[in-house]
């Protein structure tokens, strides 16, 4: 939308500035003209006075030569009328008075100025107020000089340089002032006309430029605040038109580019919340979120295990997003189970925000089942599994699934109080970026673990294979030594297994091995390590268990195998098992030697009639060797 934001006050202020400048110029011109005319008038009057005084001197001297000096009063009157003088009088100096007397009545009266000029021989000019207005009084001395015509010294018995007398003239300045004022008025009128014309032209040229300049300033200020929607009014012509067009094109380009960038970033972030009016700020926030998420992805790609990734993700939720209450669930697809990886920042803590049912039936979790975000902030009752509000505290939740191979492999649950609900919901779009970056990395780690586990597992029984022991023997041994504990080593062998293969076939033999593996899993602890060592031999490592404890566990296994009925196509069979037990590091500080001792005890059990458990003792090793 085009907006005219040029303020009337600003335009008036600019006009007043130029008008004030014009007024100052007119006043300066008026003062200069008046002063110039005054000085010019005075100079002209002085020049007239000097001319008139010279005429008086020459006329008086000629009158003396011609013998008509007694008629000097009429002479002075004629000179005064001809020169336009208001008054003219002559005062004799001391030398002339001595030679010729005081003279006429008008030549005897004098004042202080006359006396001063007679004494100094220097003329004086004064502006005075007369009856008819301003006057110039000029008192001009006559100096005796040789070679001057008419020659003063021919008649006067004085020395050269003496003051013969003074002529005092009064010249009216009224006409000159009137003339000066008239011309000043004319000049001021002309100057005023040109000033007004100049102001008009300047205003006409300046106003569009001023409006554009101020509009540009406002447009830039609004653009700096992220608003690129302003468009400048375009003048009809001139440079201002081109400037306005250029600024408008710039704003359109910036608005388009920023909107494009904003839109692309929104698509990446799946940003679905109202944006700030400041497009720069909202875009910057989203870009910073993408950059941080990119760094996060680089970090988790270098993590070795899934658990490290979960810990890092939990730290981001807690520290970056400042969310204290949250849970991270991992889906165990093979069993349709879920396990709580992190609860409120605590690893492997007991989940309490959701019903325990989701742990044994993952499909009960709405986010896991649908693969969509569950907004329990907007719709508090959307998921029946959330139990955080059971006490009426008003707790709400927002669950975000992490899709892996099209299904929700993990679920991140954010828990909010009534005060933090809207804030947490506003952070969801940013957290989604992290989860989107985490999902493929987590899936890759999961696949690698699956591949590693598959290469370390026996395909038929599901137990670890011998390669697993070879890969983890150092870790297992170091763990036992570091804790100062014991590891019971149990070696199993199915009695008369070859007879089963020969009598019932290899399929029956496989069923026996699977049944024995099942008994081991059912009888021993989850923390114990079970290995199919080869053929019909099995190996078990009982963590934090001494040799005596291993004997007790082995006897339970032996009895359970003996009691197990194994179905075959032709009926059922029952088998027995022989077991040897050793203690690491009690029997040997070398891990593989302890395994060898368990094997020695197993061999002894078979020699003693099978279907029994034998504890390794040093004498068995000596007998075997």
Does 295 lie in the same domain as 408? yes
Domain stops at, among 178, 213, 228: 178
**Residue 599 located in a structural domain:** yes
**326 CB burial (10 A radius; 0-12, 13-18, 19+):** buried
Is residue 316's pLDDT more than 50? Answer: yes
Average pLDDT over residues 521-530: 90
Average pLDDT over residues 454-460: 78
What are the tokens at 88?
A: 């003219």
The percentage of the chain sitting over the pLDDT mark of 70, rounded to a whole number, equals 82
**Residue 6 located in a structural domain:** no
Look at the chain and report how many structural domains it folds into. 3
Domain membership of residue 137 as a residue range: 11-178
- pLDDT tens-digit map of 16-68: 766 777 677 777 777 776 777 667 777 777 787 778 777 877 777 777 767 67
The percentage of the chain sitting over the pLDDT mark of 90, rounded to a whole number, equals 23
**Residue 246 located in a structural domain:** no
131 phi and psi, to 5 degrees?
Answer: -65, -35
Out of 198-202, 379-383, 613-617, the most confident range is 613-617
Average pLDDT over residues 306-329: 90
The rounded Cα 550 to chain-centroid distance in angstroms is: 66
Domain stops at, among 178, 206, 225: 178
- CATH number, position 428: 3.30.450.40
What are the tokens at 118?
A: 């007679």
CB contact at 8 A, 121 and 207: no
* Alpha-carbon gap, residue 563 to 560, rounded angstroms: 5
pLDDT of residue 157: 67
Write down the mean pLDDT value for the chain. 81
Cα separations in angstroms, 306 against 98, 126, 223, 328, 330 = 139, 112, 46, 12, 10
Least confident span in 163-167, 510-514, 534-538 = 163-167
Cis peptide before 519 (omega within 30 of 0): no
- CATH number, position 529: 3.30.70.270
Domain stops at, among 134, 161, 178: 178
User: 515: helix, coil or strand?
Assistant: helix
**Residue 295 located in a structural domain:** yes
* Alpha-carbon gap, residue 24 to 21, rounded angstroms: 5
pLDDT of residue 399: 93
pLDDT of residue 199: 67
Does 512 lie in the same domain as 390? no
**Residue 389 located in a structural domain:** yes
Give 11's pLDDT tier (boundaries 50, 70, 90): low
Average pLDDT over residues 89-110: 71
- pLDDT tens-digit map of 17-26: 667 776 777 7
**Residue 1 located in a structural domain:** no
Average pLDDT over residues 66-92: 73
Cα separations in angstroms, 305 against 110, 296, 309, 442, 449 = 128, 15, 7, 9, 8
**Residue 139 located in a structural domain:** yes
CB contact at 8 A, 482 and 544: no
Give 474's pLDDT tier (boundaries 50, 70, 90): confident
**Residue 237 located in a structural domain:** no
């Amino acid at each position: 939308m085009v907006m005219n934001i040029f303020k009337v006050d600003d335009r008036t202020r600019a006009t007043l500035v130029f008008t004030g400048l014009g007024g100052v110029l007119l006043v300066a011109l008026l003062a200069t003209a008046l002063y110039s005319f005054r000085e010019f008038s005075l100079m002209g009057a002085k020049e007239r006075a000097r001319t008139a005084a010279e005429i008086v001197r020459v006329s008086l001297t000629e009158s003396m030569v011609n013998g008509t000096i007694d008629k000097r009063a009429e002479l002075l009157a004629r000179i005064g009328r001809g020169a336009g003088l208001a008054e003219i009088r002559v005062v004799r100096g001391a030398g002339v008075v001595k030679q010729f007397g005081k003279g006429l009545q008008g030549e005897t009266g004098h004042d202080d100025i006359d006396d001063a000029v007679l004494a100094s021989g220097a003329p004086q000019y004064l502006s005075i107020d007369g009856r008819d207005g301003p006057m110039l009084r000029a008192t001009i001395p006559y100096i005796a000089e040789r070679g001057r015509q008419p020659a003063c010294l021919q008649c006067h018995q004085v020395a050269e340089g003496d003051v013969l007398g003074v002529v005092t003239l009064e010249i009216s300045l009224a006409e000159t002032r009137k003339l000066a004022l008239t011309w000043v008025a004319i000049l001021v009128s002309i100057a005023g006309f040109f000033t007004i014309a100049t102001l008009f032209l300047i205003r006409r040229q300046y106003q569009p430029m001023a409006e554009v300049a101020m509009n540009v300033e406002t447009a830039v200020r609004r653009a700096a605040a992220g608003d690129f929607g302003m468009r400048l009014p375009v003048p009809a012509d001139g440079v201002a038109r081109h400037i306005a067009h250029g600024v408008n094109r710039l704003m359109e380009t910036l608005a388009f580019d920023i909107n494009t960038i904003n839109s692309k970033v929104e698509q990446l972030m799946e940003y679905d919340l109202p944006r700030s009016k400041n497009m720069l700020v909202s875009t910057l926030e989203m870009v910073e979120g993408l950059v941080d998420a990119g760094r996060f992805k680089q970090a988790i790609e270098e993590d070795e295990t899934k658990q490290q990734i979960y810990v890092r993700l939990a730290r981001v939720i807690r520290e970056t997003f400042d969310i204290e209450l949250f849970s991270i669930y991992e889906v165990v697809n093979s069993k349709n189970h879920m396990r709580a990886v992190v609860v409120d920042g605590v690893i492997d803590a007991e989940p309490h925000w959701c019903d325990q049912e989701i742990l044994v039936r993952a499909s009960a979790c709405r986010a896991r089942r649908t693969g969509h975000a569950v907004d329990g902030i907007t719709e508090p009752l959307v998921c029946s599994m959330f139990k955080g509000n059971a006490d009426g505290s008003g707790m709400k939740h927002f669950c975000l699934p992490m899709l892996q191979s099209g299904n929700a492999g993990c679920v991140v649950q954010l828990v909010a109080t009534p005060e933090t609900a809207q804030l947490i919901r506003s952070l969801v779009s940013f957290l989604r970026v992290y989860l989107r970056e985490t999902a493929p990395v987590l899936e890759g780690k999961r696949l690698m673990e699956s591949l590693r586990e598959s290469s370390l597992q026996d395909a038929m029984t599901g137990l670890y294979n011998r390669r697993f022991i070879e890969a983890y023997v150092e870790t297992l041994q170091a763990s036992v030594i570091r804790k100062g504990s014991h590891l019971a080593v149990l070696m199993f062998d199915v009695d008369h297994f070859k007879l089963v293969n020969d009598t019932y076939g290899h399929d029956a033999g496989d069923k026996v091995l699977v049944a024995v593996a099942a008994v081991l899993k059912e009888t021993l602890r989850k923390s114990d390590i079970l290995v199919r060592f080869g053929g019909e031999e099995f190996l078990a490592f009982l963590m934090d268990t001494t040799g005596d404890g291993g004997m007790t566990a082995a006897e339970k296994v032996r009895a359970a195998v003996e009691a197990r009925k194994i179905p075959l196509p032709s009926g059922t069979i029952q088998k027995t098992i022989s077991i040897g037990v050793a203690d690491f590091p009690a029997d040997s500080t070398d891990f593989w030697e302890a395994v060898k001792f368990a094997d020695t005890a197993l061999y002894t059990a078979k020699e003693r009639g099978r279907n029994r458990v034998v504890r390794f003792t040093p004498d068995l090793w000596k007998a075997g060797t």
